[in-house]
Amino acid sequence: MSSVSTRVADTIKDLVMSGIDTTQSPRPAAKDTFWQALRKAGTELWLDTGDIDEARKVWTAEMTALTTNNTLLNREIQKGIYDEFVKRANRILPEMPRKERVMEIAFILNARHGLRLVEEFGGRVSVELHTDLADDLDGIVAYGKRFHAISPNHFIVKVPLTATGLLGARKLRELGIPINFTLEFSARQNALATIIAKPNYLNVFLGRLNAYVSDNGLGSGDLVGEKATLASQRAVRAASQGNPEPTRQIAASMRGAEQVELLAGVDVYTMPTKVAHQAHETLKPLFSDQTAKDYEVTLKDSVDPTAVRIEDLWTVGNDVLNFAREIDRNPPSSGAQLAELAHRAGIGELFPRLSADEIATIAKDGKIPVHATWKDRVQRHEVAVDSLLNLAGLASFTADQADLDHRIESLI
């Protein structure tokens, strides 16, 4: 967790902000009738990139934010553009264990690059926690508060979907800190997060859902992520009606221009620059709200539906809603306790009990788990497609975070 003193935290904040002025308006961006049409359908437009040069090519006046993650930040760091800044950061830090020092510099880099995006484009920026904090409640809260202190009007703190993350995001929201809850893959995960954590934003990584079905030979993968995203949009709107602020659904992990059209009306898009460019070049600006649509998804005839349980991606059962409401009324003190309560409530597959070897298998497979490895446990309701993809996503981010950390270590 973050254990630096207030004095050191202030020194770090000064370094992060040195030479950057976010009070001045950036150069005006051009208006674009194509993106205006999508905004009129009800969708806010964010870019999913940390690459300033690439973002400049597609950024317009209709776009309001950018989002980075451990992978996207690592791509920027590996370019070497922050090597001297890493050395400056190392010089101002007091004595501390090496692992803590590396995490602190990673935080500094995340905040520094986020501020550069703010200065360049003037919108808000999602900044992400170090992956080592995924199950560290005190660390989530401490670093979330420090991100917010650096840029309260521009930074949105990304917190991952873990049992601990639910509680950490909830505590940060109670402090008024904007949260982008991340690594969700189903309507039920997002209904749970909306009720317990009450984040400002949450996601469905829809491209990975399509890839799970297609890459594992279960079907074409067509419309799986789109159907789950629209179902989640409806579930989130219903679940957040009693929240102090409405929770907004993000369509994330977009893979193609057609998704820009199929999901029009979803609260927010986070578009890779490639997808934004393709959409602009190939689609007509004739968007209409699609959030009431319920797209049809089919699996191969040879696939046993009970071995996939694909419908869990867009179905929110009363068991999930009742559990979330109980946790909201009586939140436990730790993520471990929350996960145990989920198992007692019969929804433990959302927080599966896995061995170290099983976790390593998920990490080895990359972003898309091998379904054949897990189908028996899926049938037994011990894991599910959404929880497998959540764990795989966190493992993928962890690998990229380790790559970033390694570069820091080579420089200090």
What DSSP string describes 9-26? HHHHHHHHHTT---SSPP
Please work out, in degrees rounded to the nearest 5, the angle formed at the alpha carbon of residue 96 by the alpha carbons of 92 and 100: 95
Task: Please state the pTM of the whole predicted model.
Answer: 0.97
Residue 2 pLDDT exceeds 80: no
> Which pLDDT tens digit goes with each residue over 67-84?
999 999 999 999 999 999
**Does residue 106 contact residue 133 with C-beta atoms inside 8 Å?**
no
Rounded mean pLDDT of 110-126? 96
- Domains in the chain, start-ordered, CATH in brackets? 26-411 (3.20.20.70)
**CA 163, 164, 168, 169 torsion-angle sign:** negative
Identify the band that residue 246 occupies on the pLDDT scale cut at 50, 70 and 90: very high
The confidence score (pLDDT) of residue 243 equals 85
Query: Is pLDDT of 209 > 60?
Result: yes
Judge whether residue 50 has pLDDT over 70. Answer: yes
pLDDT (average), residues 137-142 = 98
Q: What integer pLDDT is reported at residue 198 of this predicted model? A: 98
Percent of the chain with pLDDT strictly greater than 90? 96
Q: Hunting for tokens 């349980």 — which residue is that?
A: 309
Average pLDDT over residues 52-81: 96
pLDDT digits (tens, 9 = 90+) for 328-361: 999 999 999 999 999 999 999 999 999 999 999 9
Q: Considering only CA atoms, give the Rg of the chain.
A: 21
* pLDDT tens digits, 228-239: 999 999 999 999
- Which candidate, 116, 107, 182, 117, places its Cα nearest to that of 147? 107
pLDDT in tens, 6-35: 999 999 999 999 999 988 888 789 999 999
Helix (H) or strand (E) holding 407: helix 385-411
- For 356, list phi and psi in degrees, rounded to 5: -60, -35
Instruction: Determine the pLDDT at residue 207.
Output: 98
Instruction: Return d(Cα 395, Cα 406) in angstroms, integer.
Output: 16
pLDDT tens for each residue of 318-333: 999 999 999 999 999 9
Check pLDDT > 60 for residue 1.
no
pLDDT in tens, 289-305: 999 999 999 999 999 99
Other beta carbons within 10 Å of 243: 16
- How much is the pLDDT for 288? 97
Q: What is the mean pLDDT of the chain?
A: 97
Average pLDDT over residues 91-120: 97
* Contact in structure between 267 and 42 (CB atoms under 8 Å): yes
Q: ∠232-236-239 over CA atoms, to 5°?
A: 135
List, for residues 175-207, the tens digit of each pLDDT value.
Answer: 999 999 999 999 999 999 999 999 999 999 999
pLDDT band at 4 (very low <50, low <70, confident <90, very high): confident
Is the separation of the CB atoms in 216 and 230 below 8 Å? no
State the pLDDT at residue 409. 98
Predicted pLDDT of residue 281:
97
Taking alpha carbons only, the member of 140, 96, 89, 130 closest to residue 4 is: 96
